[in-house]
Each structure stands twice: as C-alpha cells, then as structure tokens.
Chain A
Amino acid sequence: MSVGKAAVKVLHLGRISYGSALKIQQQHIKQHLDWSSISPNTLLLCEHEPVYTVGIRQAPYPPEEERRLKELGADFFRTNRGGLITFHGPGQLVCYPVLNLGCFKKSVRWYVCELERTVIKMCSKFGINASTSPDTGVWVGNNKICAIGIHCGRYITSHGLALNCNTDMSWFDNIVPCGIVGKGVTSLSRELGRDVSTEEAVPKLLEAFTEQFNCTLTYNGSFS
C-alpha cells in the first residue's frame, strides 16, 4: 500500500472509435510496465460510435452472431476483458482507468467493487438510488445503469465501466446484455425523466472516483 494519496491523470478523449481507444489504453499499459517506479495512473474518458464488444468468453458469440450485429450498423470487437456482451454508443460515458493496483490494493475483486461503489456514489449525487446485485454492474432495481468489465495483468488494469447517460437504449434490444436474461437496462436520463448528457455526468463521476479511491486527479489537455 502506498503512503499518501495516489495521483491519477484524467484524459478526455471525446468521441473516439473503440479501436483507437484500445490502442491508447495499450500505450498507457506499456508505460506502466516499462517504468514501474513512475506510475502513470490514468483515467480515460470517452464516448464511442455504436459498437458491440465481447469478453474472453467467446463461445456464445460465433461469427454468425458477429455478422448479425454488424448488419445492424454497429462495429464488433472481441476483447480480453471479463464480462459477456455489451453495447457502447453515443450518449454513454465510457471510463477506462489504467491503474497500477499496487498504488491501491492488489485485488481485482476489491477493484471491481470500488468501481461499483464509485458509480453508486455518483448516482446518489443525481438523487438516484443505485445498488449492486449478485451480477456485477450497477443496477437501479432490475435494470442495469452501468456495465463493468475489466482486464488485469501484472496489476495493471484496463477496460472499465460504461454508464448510460442519454444512450439510445434500443441498441440493447439486439442482445442479451451481459448475458443476463430477464433483466433490463436503464440510463440517467430515463431515471431522472430529463436529458442527462455525458458532459453533465463527467464531473460527478470524477468527484465520486476521487472520494472512493482516495486519490488526487490531475488534468492534462493533450493525450500522450
């Protein structure tokens, strides 16, 4: 455990393709692994064009499924994260913390729990009562408001969370989100009955992140 608060750099990537964001994550992971004494903990924030992504459990999503989803106008990526299928698109705030868990606690179970608590805290700042369930993610009743799926290698994390702000929810009708049958999805806009953009959600998410992870945030306009 480190003495004092860990520093985390925030990078706003804006609207960016899923593939480009993956490349940027890889660059930051490499920085962690190459210079392990200078830990460049980074929080990447972005929005994607419509894309369906799956995790390491590939079997439920054969090439036919990939074709079907691409024909609907979305991109498709097979990734190395945990979790099953999910959707990313405009109006959804995607957050990729590329952290060295050595600066916090060397447990992915702890880390995922802290991500859930961060989002729950953020929801409460909006007056929304969110919670966890036996299924990973953040829920408002039986509807998931935020999906989580991460990768960890040598204590360096990648991938992260996807919070529905004013996402077009019909994209989720084409899949069984996260492989969980019988439950739905929701967004900040749906819960509050008004339009909530990703821009509005960002400061509250960052506030909740610093509180939950007990870290300081630094800002850098450019991306390295």
Chain B
Amino acid sequence: MALCTILRCASVSLTSSLPRLSNRIAVTPTTLLARTCYKRFLNTTTTFRAALKFTDKHEWVRVDSGVATVGISNFAQEALGDVVYCGLPEVGTKLSQSDEFGTLESVKAASELYSPLTGEVTDVNDALADNPGLVNKSCYKDGWLMKMTLSVPEELNGLMDEAAYERYIKSIED
C-alpha cells in the first residue's frame, strides 16, 4: 500500500514536469508510454503497408517509395482460370495510363492487361516465366506482374480504394 503511494507520488511529480499531451486522458507514465508507442507503431505501418488501389479492369497498384507494383485482383484471376503463360513488357517500356502492357493466357484465352498508370517499367516478375500459376495462387503478393515509375502521381486519385472496388465487383456480379 505504501509502495503504491510512493509510486503514485513519483508518477505525479514526473508527469507534472512534462508537457501536457492531452487534456482528456489522465497522463500517467503508463498512458504516456502507450500513446508514444502506439503512435510510433501507426507511423511504421502506414509506410510499409501502402493501400491497394484498383482499376475498373481489375488491376491493382501498390506504391512504395515512388515505385508502383502492379498485379491483377482476385476477381480477375478467378475470371481467367489457371494462368499458363504471362506475356509481360520489357524493362524500360514507357506506358500511358490504359495502354496494353501484356497478356495473360488461361484456358486457351489470351486476355489483355492495361496499365493502371503512366510511367516506365522498372521490373518484371521473372518468376512467372516458370511458374505462371503464381498469378492465381498469390495474386496480391508473389504473383505481381510488373513495377513501374509514376510520371503522373495524381492518376492514383482516380483509382478505386479497396472498399470502392468491392462495391464495384458487387455491381458487376448483379
């Protein structure tokens, strides 16, 4: 009991010398620590887990440090069937938004891919040459198609976020 009182006194004297962070929450060392850590955790995740944006042609884009990774959505890979071949562009290819950038073959159907952004191709997923099925198995991760620069970053604002894309898929399926 006495120990608690001592600790409480210590915490009060400690916090009174620190700038007030919030008027609403009682500022104790515990809450201070929690808020700081919580904020730091949030900042970290916002940088590493950039949100996916989607086109109406079912491609997704993820931007990290000025480079956009492009792939196709789960809806698209299901609609295609088992992918047996990926025809992808050469590194260095310059693309405008909506340009055809490649083809995916599945069930004897060759389906065109359309660039979600304007930019230059910096990387292509070579793993798909031997393992095209990655597009089906891991469409948001290992089945990525290409990486490109963003010449017109504002184009991202015109793409759908995940919630809007979910609504869009539902409207197609009806």
Of A56, A57, A82, which contacts B107 at CB under 8 A?
Answer: A82
CB pair B110 A136 closer than 8 Å: no
Asked whether any CB of chain A lies closer than 8 Å to the CB of B105, the reply is: yes
CB pair A55 B105 closer than 8 Å: yes
CB pair A149 B108 closer than 8 Å: yes
- For B172, list chain A residues within 8 Å (CB): 106
Asked whether any CB of chain B lies closer than 8 Å to the CB of A151, the reply is: yes
Q: Nearest Cβ in chain B — how far from A60, in angstroms?
A: 11
- Rounded to whole angstroms, the CA-CA distance of A1 and B105 in the bound complex is 24
CB pair A109 B107 closer than 8 Å: yes
CB pair B81 A57 closer than 8 Å: no
CB pair B109 A153 closer than 8 Å: no
Q: Nearest Cβ in chain B — how far from A87, in angstroms?
A: 15
CB pair A106 B111 closer than 8 Å: no
Beyond the given A109-B80, A112-B107, please list 11 additional residue pairs across the A-B interface where CB-CB is below 8 A: A55-B110, A56-B103, A56-B105, A83-B108, A107-B78, A108-B81, A110-B79, A111-B109, A112-B81, A150-B109, A152-B112
- Rounded to whole angstroms, the CA-CA distance of A80 and B85 in the bound complex is 13
CB pair B108 A80 closer than 8 Å: no
* Contact-size category for B: 20 to 34
CB pair A151 B79 closer than 8 Å: no
CB pair A150 B110 closer than 8 Å: yes
Asked whether any CB of chain B lies closer than 8 Å to the CB of A154, the reply is: yes
Q: List 20 A-B contacts (CB under 8 A).
A: A55-B110, A56-B85, A56-B87, A57-B85, A106-B172, A108-B80, A108-B107, A108-B109, A110-B79, A112-B107, A112-B109, A113-B107, A136-B108, A150-B108, A151-B111, A152-B109, A152-B110, A152-B111, A153-B111, A153-B112
- Rounded to whole angstroms, the CA-CA distance of A55 and B174 in the bound complex is 33
Least CB separation from A56: chain B residue: B110
Q: Which of B2-59 contact A (CB under 8 A)?
A: 57
Least CB separation from B57: chain A residue: A154
Of A57, A106, A153, A154, which contacts B79 at CB under 8 A?
Answer: A106
A-contact 0/1 string along B100-126, CB 8 Å cutoff: 100101111111101000000000000
- Rounded to whole angstroms, the CA-CA distance of A199 and B15 in the bound complex is 93
CB pair B110 A80 closer than 8 Å: yes
A-contact 0/1 string along B67-92, CB 8 Å cutoff: 00000000000111100010100000
Asked whether any CB of chain B lies closer than 8 Å to the CB of A85, the reply is: no
- For A153, list chain B residues within 8 Å (CB): 100, 111-112
CB pair A137 B108 closer than 8 Å: yes
- Rounded to whole angstroms, the CA-CA distance of A172 and B130 in the bound complex is 29
- For A136, list chain B residues within 8 Å (CB): 107-108
- For B103, list chain A residues within 8 Å (CB): 56, 80
Most chain A CB inside 10 Å of its own CB: which residue of B109, B111, B174 = B109
- Rounded to whole angstroms, the CA-CA distance of A111 and B107 in the bound complex is 10
- Rounded to whole angstroms, the CA-CA distance of A136 and B164 in the bound complex is 35
Q: Nearest Cβ in chain A — how far from B1, in angstroms?
A: 71
Q: Nearest Cβ in chain B — how far from A99, in angstroms?
A: 13
- For B105, list chain A residues within 8 Å (CB): 55-57, 82
Most chain B CB inside 10 Å of its own CB: which residue of A80, A81, A153 = A153
Asked whether any CB of chain B lies closer than 8 Å to the CB of A51, the reply is: no
- Rounded to whole angstroms, the CA-CA distance of A108 and B112 in the bound complex is 11
- For B87, list chain A residues within 8 Å (CB): 56
CB pair A1 B174 closer than 8 Å: yes
Q: Nearest Cβ in chain B — how far from A163, in angstroms?
A: 15
Knowing A57-B85, A107-B79 touch, does A82 contact B100 (C-beta < 8 A)?
A: no
- Rounded to whole angstroms, the CA-CA distance of A201 and B79 in the bound complex is 31
